A and B are shown apart, each in its own frame.
Chain A
């Protein structure tokens, strides 16, 4: 129950378990379910192994709209804030 409360305190604007990377807490894990945006963005992310179906751990995010750092397939990738806000993760999948 406390965990549930904590999660929802940090992410008030999202229903359920699907959050953008920007709304995840550092250390939180999940499964990438959707990458919204143009094909070119999808291509660049996919080349780095960031695509739906991949498990992801958020490492950190910088202040003032800075990049979000995540870990996928044991490598760390930094993603610009706006781009990160379009990558959606299901945090109920551990």
Chain B
């Protein structure tokens, strides 16, 4: 048996899914968190069933790619659990009636049932069941209330017996049902609602956004730096350093195996960043330098997502983003890109047109540095002073704006306008925020760490084989004349294809000046994305569009690098 979870965006399908299957999936308080589908298993009676979390959709007549996915999934299901926002019954019932007209077995989960009480909404459940002709179960997915009853009701799902209606007939039926089952009492605005409205008013909204962004930035730094200085550095120095030292000593401090494992040793000390061995930099850079900022970033992002602030930021930035061919909602993939470009490229599915997806994805890949790269930028460039870090960020922001404006002119077609539902604010719950953080950190550890070690290994082997000397000699004119960097730094650009954090780390022993470091960081950030991002770009946009994006990257990276070199 295959159970589909379907419903409007942001009604809590993913939370219901996690409750049913025990499989954790990303859930946030904004429409479009789920853009692909997730599969899990659950027990219905004695039988095991597959459960699929389908992307949210308002209608079975799709208007964007995520909704098309939803429609295709419908053919695969045996039972549909239609998750409905009980506080917005009227709009949610449109999809419900469409499902009932398709004659698939349906059961309705009236989610956020607790919210109806404080919002003065009364729904007559029995009457609603009669009107729809299928079981209706009230649920509160975030607390787990009603989930057991929902599972027990799944075998009672019956195919909808509604005849095909025209759209107007459907709305008329909904009107009748609502009049029969729902009574709305009067009630005052809550503080949350006033805060919500303030965030979408022009003046207060800008102040609000400035406060949120400044607060987020400080919080990420606080978490990242505290973890580094009070946890990771002491741990590394006390526990791991002696091990690395012992390995180095037992290998006699030199030889091929020594350079592979420990790397270069200067003055008898193993520098955790510059040595570049598997057991030295291979451990220190990802775990003590990058991981703390990954934790800081995803903690703050998770809270912002669950509160429901991001769609309001989209409203605020909408008119500015139209100038770069996007509408405000494209800020969500962009912010995700500050963590990792891979989920950011996938998240561009919430945008309606191919043109917008191309612009948004290209801008993310070119001008939005991932958390791992940022951690190394802050760590290495920050040594020269905060203003150099600001210079890197400022340059990338200008690139994002200018390149966006250029792509907007050069790309055919026009971009549709913003049309989104703005969710109510909710208190972020500690548990869900932590599980989400852990899922993302685990993703980093599982997917990034192996590539990280592999890149260090490959770099060391290629060094030994002398492959980089040839490359450096070949590209020297571009590197030195155009970018003002030592010819060896081309190695970093090549390695950037594997992992950008490793790549920037490679520059540490080259004794670059502050300005050279700024140029190198910017070029590295803009140049080809890492292999994981590249793969997902091909999958999401196709080889042809990726090739187009690659040309944009190459040209813009070299142009901006040369300009920076000329100015600084």
Chain A residues in the interface with B (C-beta under 8 A)? 26, 40, 43-49, 51, 53, 59-67, 69, 72-83
Contact = CB atoms under 8 A, between A and B. Distances in A.
B422 A65 contact: no
Contacts of B91: 48-49, 72-73, 75
A63 B203 CA distance: 9
Nearest to B31: A48
Given A67-B418, A69-B422, A73-B91, A78 B314 contact: yes
Contacts of A43: 59, 61, 63
B316 interface: yes
A43 B422 CA distance: 19
Given A60-B200, A78-B420, A79-B418, 19 more contacts: A48-B58, A48-B91, A48-B421, A49-B94, A61-B202, A62-B200, A65-B319, A66-B316, A69-B422, A74-B121, A76-B196, A76-B200, A76-B422, A78-B328, A79-B419, A80-B419, A81-B417, A82-B417, A83-B419
B314 A66 contact: no
Interface in B305-319: 311, 314-316, 318-319
Nearest to B94: A47
Interface in B348-362: none
Contacts of A72: 91
Contacts of B171: 51, 53
B167 interface: yes
Given A73-B88, A75-B421, A47 B318 contact: no
A25 to B, nearest CB: 13
Interface in B197-219: 197, 200-202, 205
B71 to A, nearest CB: 13
A69 B196 CA distance: 11
A10 B316 CA distance: 23
B90 interface: yes
A66 B419 contact: no
A77 B424 CA distance: 11
A82 B315 CA distance: 14
B327 interface: yes
A81 B422 contact: no
Given A43-B63, A78-B315, A48 B419 contact: yes
B87 interface: yes
A72 B419 CA distance: 14
B419 A77 contact: yes
B421 A64 contact: no
Contact of A45 (B200, B202, B419): B419
B119 interface: yes
Contacts of B424: 76
15 contacts: A47-B58, A47-B94, A49-B88, A49-B91, A51-B171, A60-B200, A62-B319, A63-B319, A66-B319, A69-B315, A69-B422, A73-B88, A74-B121, A78-B418, A80-B417
B316 A62 contact: yes
Nearest to B121: A74
A63 B416 CA distance: 19
B90 A49 contact: yes
Given A43-B59, A62-B318, A75-B91, A69 B421 contact: no
B202 A60 contact: yes
Nearest to A54: B90
A49 B88 CA distance: 10
A59 B196 CA distance: 10
Closest 3 CB pairs of A and B: A80-B417, A47-B58, A49-B91
A79 B417 contact: yes
Nearest to A78: B315
A43 to B, nearest CB: 6
A55 to B, nearest CB: 11
Contacts of B196: 76
A53 B178 CA distance: 15
